[in-house]
Amino acid sequence: MPLVDGKFIELELPSEKHARVLFDDSRPWMYRVLYGGRSGAKDWSIAAACIEIALRTQKRFLFTREIQHTIKQSAHQLLRDTIDRLGYNSYFHVTEYKITCKATGSFFVFMGLKDLNKENVKSIEGINICVVCEAQDLTKESFDVLDPTIRQEGGEIWIQFNPQFDDDFVYEFCVTDPPSDMICEKVTYLDNKFNSDRTIKQAERMRIKDPEGYRHTWLGDCMGSGSKFYPCISKDVHFTAHECNERLFDFKFLASHAQLFMAMDPHTVYYPACIWVARLKMGKEFFYVVYNEFPTKSFFDGEYYYKLRKELQCTLTMNDLATMFRVLDCTVGDDQLDVDVVERYVDTRFAKASGAASWSTNTEGLIAEFAKPGNGGIVLRHPEERIIDVQKEIIREATKYNEEIPVCSINQSRFLVLPHCHNVKDTLLNHRNNRDNTAEDEKRKDFSDALRICFAGMSRYDWKDPKYDVEEKPFVLEQRKVDLCYTLS
């Protein structure tokens, strides 16, 4: 135990739950998890526990999160404050990017998960404890890179998060279906004996005035406010190929048998949300496959579109966009085929923003601008507003299936999404109505709007059996010298 002011001190944690997760040694744990609501002292307890461990034995710590643009976004300040609060300043050497324990040689480093790749993964080999902060945004893709890098004997990953949705990766991994070598506890402000009277009063006020918000914010329950906009959507049914529908996940089949459409929910100064849908007729039924989207997660450096939808101004010209649209019309992964979309659609109600150099401020003007040869010569159509608004139920009907029996030829969704369309999947899974179920929540609305715009246009376009004899195209990206900044596979 360290000496502070001439006295040996012992760490006191907010509750037995915190202590059990962070210090239980009844068996080797690979994962230690604290999750829950506001003021549950999750990050505070983890920082204090790591400092105590660093003082007693030589360990290497990595503090990380999904996106970390600057050191200020890391746990660096939290650890500095914890060292100061515990009175351990004389035991640690703190620099801008690293914290080192003088007594044991333990050290703390900081990195964003999106900075972790095959090239720099060796830089964190030898880490004993990796702490994933604010892990509610943790993606499976990031975790699949991180997990195997913590391979020291006895190495552990510590995770702390406030739940968002029950189908988020981190919630499913830690709570719904945790591995056997994980120790996990839900902690709330009720488990933190150090909370102030003010904090408790704030929580109580919300409990009385907004019970549903209280359960999510303070008790750490997943968001239940507002029903899902597309309630039938399932990862295992709508985004995954089954024996009965494998060919619908093959772009060569779609290009040969489907009509291809594209729709755009535009912004004046921000990036438009764009979607590509293949429609094909099998028997008497129409089937719909979302086969491309723009922007993608990779285009936004791993961030979902809804997080940056009103932060990043679109720096592409209309001609750049038109070029990318033509590439995405006919390209999925390594397949680039000699087909084109039959029609493109745009939101009838585009007249909200203030304007920018290359964008018009209303639908008719946008159509006229894109149609100019210098802006790409793209032909856009706009469905009637009343037709767009009714597509929600059409899409819901197409997504239905019997949840009680296996997916098969007589029990399958007529609506599918190819796996690389991450923003579309995120929207379908997590787009919700507002708390009163009186309107849509704005958070993930853009790709949902684009989908309805596309369905509205398709509803007025007659079916004609394409019977394309598709051929491979030369790779258009290289021809046009356009950097899409992402891969589709």
Per the domain annotation, does 228 fall within a domain? no
Per the domain annotation, does 80 fall within a domain? yes
- Same domain membership, residue 285 and residue 200: no
pLDDT score at 440: 84
Three-state secondary structure call for residue 159: strand
Buried b (16+ CB within 10 A) or exposed e, 406-429: ebeeeebbbbbbbebbbbbbbbbb
Both structure tokens of 31: 């994962």
pLDDT score at 285: 92
- Same domain membership, residue 309 and residue 268: yes
Structural domains in the chain (count): 2
- Same domain membership, residue 304 and residue 191: no
The whole-number average pLDDT for the span 410-427 is 95
- Same domain membership, residue 308 and residue 457: yes
CATH number of residue 201's parent domain = 3.40.50.300
pLDDT score at 152: 83
pLDDT in tens, 112-143: 887 776 566 666 778 999 999 999 989 888 89
Per the domain annotation, does 222 fall within a domain? no
Nearest-angstrom CA–CA distance, 169 and 483? 30
pLDDT score at 176: 82
pLDDT in tens, 437-477: 678 888 889 999 999 999 999 999 999 887 666 677 665 54
Q: Give the least confident one: 151-155, 242-246, 349-353, 479-483.
A: 479-483
- Same domain membership, residue 207 and residue 244: no
- Same domain membership, residue 272 and residue 203: no
- Same domain membership, residue 271 and residue 153: no
CATH number of residue 424's parent domain = 3.30.420.280
- The yes-or-no verdict on residue 13 having pLDDT over 90 is yes
Per the structure, the complete domain to which residue 430 belongs is given by 235-480
pTM: 0.60
The whole-number average pLDDT for the span 368-395 is 93
> Which residues are registered as beta bridge partners of 264?
274, 346
Per the domain annotation, does 290 fall within a domain? yes
| Polymer length in residues for the chain | 489
- The yes-or-no verdict on residue 434 having pLDDT over 90 is no
- Same domain membership, residue 248 and residue 141: no
- Same domain membership, residue 394 and residue 342: yes
Both structure tokens of 370: 């894109």
The whole-number average pLDDT for the span 23-39 is 95
Nearest-angstrom CA–CA distance, 196 and 257? 65
* DSSP per-residue codes, 358-407: TB-SSHHHHHHHHHSGGGT----B---HHHHHTHHHHHHHHH---TTS--
Nearest-angstrom CA–CA distance, 431 and 419? 18
Per the domain annotation, does 486 fall within a domain? no
- The yes-or-no verdict on residue 290 having pLDDT over 50 is yes
Cα separations in angstroms, 165 against 133, 168, 216, 225, 400: 17, 5, 10, 10, 21
- Same domain membership, residue 180 and residue 43: yes
- The yes-or-no verdict on residue 431 having pLDDT over 90 is no
Model confidence at 168, pLDDT cuts 50, 70, 90, reads: confident
Nearest-angstrom CA–CA distance, 172 and 169? 5
- Same domain membership, residue 452 and residue 333: yes
pLDDT in tens, 359-371: 667 888 899 999 9
* DSSP per-residue codes, 60-121: EEEEEES--SSGGGSSHHHHHHHHHHHT-GGGEEE-SS-EEETTT--EEEEEEGGG--TTTG
- The yes-or-no verdict on residue 145 having pLDDT over 60 is yes
- Same domain membership, residue 254 and residue 212: no
The whole-number average pLDDT for the span 90-101 is 93
- The yes-or-no verdict on residue 382 having pLDDT over 90 is yes
The more confidently predicted of residues 126 and 436 is 126
pLDDT score at 430: 83
Query: How much is the mean pLDDT over the chain?
Result: 87
Which DSSP helix (H) or strand (E) runs through 437? none
